[in-house]
Amino acid sequence: MKDRIIIIILLLALAPFVQARFAIPPNTGQVPQSVGYCPNQFSINAIAPWYCSQINLAAYNTFTSWEPVMMLAVLFSFLIAAVIFMAGVAARNKKLTAYGMGELYEAGASLIFVSFFMLIAALIFGIIPGLYVGVDPYNTSLTYIYNTIEATQNVLNALYGPYMVASFATSITININSLATASTIFNYALIPLEIWFIWPAQALASLLVEGLMTLYMEFYLIMFAMYASIPVFLIPGIFLRSILPTRTLGGLLIGIAVGFYFVLPTLFSIAFFFTSQNTMQSFVAATAQLNNLGQGSGAVTNGLNQNGPNSIPQVIKTLQANMGSFWISVLFYPALILALTYFTITTVADLLGGMAPSGGALLKV
């Protein structure tokens, strides 16, 4: 019992230290470069300079502006837990005493999470990537997705011109009464253009448009996670976790913040790092070929050439063959990432929101 009390006292003593450690310097209005876990004498500046100049400053600004409120919420939970514990001791009720001790541990967990959030961010976003790959997860994931969006749009733009010319050519109908046979031959002569070029181009464009919409959703999902995780989920989660009836909701919000802020961008950066290169190369090459082969009447003549070197159908076939890597990076890996993010959210929510008995258990004591 004595060692538990000592641990709780140390946790309480840590609160003013944390607030002083992360406090914004007065009368400046700005966050200096050496705040958070990026002091000038620490080697993280050399390992991950992007973290100190970008992510650390953004997280530090948001986190420290709400830190006094979070500390008050944590101290309030300590107060409630202490009242329950002392009431159990005074009433010599072992169940109530044990419940109060559990609440003290819960309050200590909240304090530890608030105290070391910036350290966790420095480890996950700065030190670990800096030692192994040397990239910023947010910048990497957003850059790869943006480049893939741009390459996909370029392919669609390059495909649109020759497709419209070929569609216009196949829509022309010639009727000459004195040359009915010649008219029929001309009208049927462009049917291979529809089979080899127009119909495959329609199917390919439909897939590319759907993939483009998915890429935009993923891009703005990461943007939302970057800007909303701390102020929208983490800070209210810590506050709600300090109140007995809303502890489960608070744990869920903290889990969402951890999953969105840490897991989501890191996994997206890894996935696109390994899959987007092949897609980018094939799309850039196809765009150049379509722009070259689809000029003017070439959209018709090259569209009728099924197997030649200057053949639009061959370009479309090459794109169709590379759609596998495109859908792996756009759909399969993001679905897996969302599943892992959901698993992280539920695990953290269960850990932080379901450790202590619920508020109804207090009524049963």
Tell me if 84 sits within 8 A of 365, measured CB to CB.
Answer: no
| pLDDT for the residue numbered 290 | 81
Give CA torsion, residues 180, 182, 187, 189, to 10 deg: 150
Taking only the tens of pLDDT, the chain with its 365 residues reads 444 444 444 444 444 444 334 333 333 444 444 555 565 545 566 666 667 766 777 677 777 777 777 788 888 888 888 888 888 888 888 888 888 888 888 888 788 777 777 777 777 776 666 666 566 788 888 888 999 999 999 999 888 878 777 777 777 666 665 555 555 556 566 677 777 778 888 888 898 999 999 999 999 999 898 888 888 898 888 888 877 788 888 889 989 988 998 889 888 988 888 887 788 888 888 888 888 876 766 666 766 666 766 687 888 888 888 888 888 888 899 999 999 999 999 998 888 776 444 444 433 44
How many beta carbons lie within 10 A of that of residue 63, not counting itself? 20
Give dist(CA 191, CA 172) in Å, integer: 12
pTM of the prediction?
0.74
Q: Which residue has the tokens 């790959």?
A: 133
Contacts of 147 by beta carbon, 8 Å cutoff, 6+ apart: 276, 280
CB burial readout 17-49, b (16+ within 10 A) else e: ebbeebebeeeeeebeeebbbbeeeeebbebbe
pLDDT at 213: 94
Instruction: Report how far residue 162's alpha carbon sits from residue 295's, in angstroms, rounded to the nearest whole number.
Output: 7
| pLDDT of amino acid 129 | 66
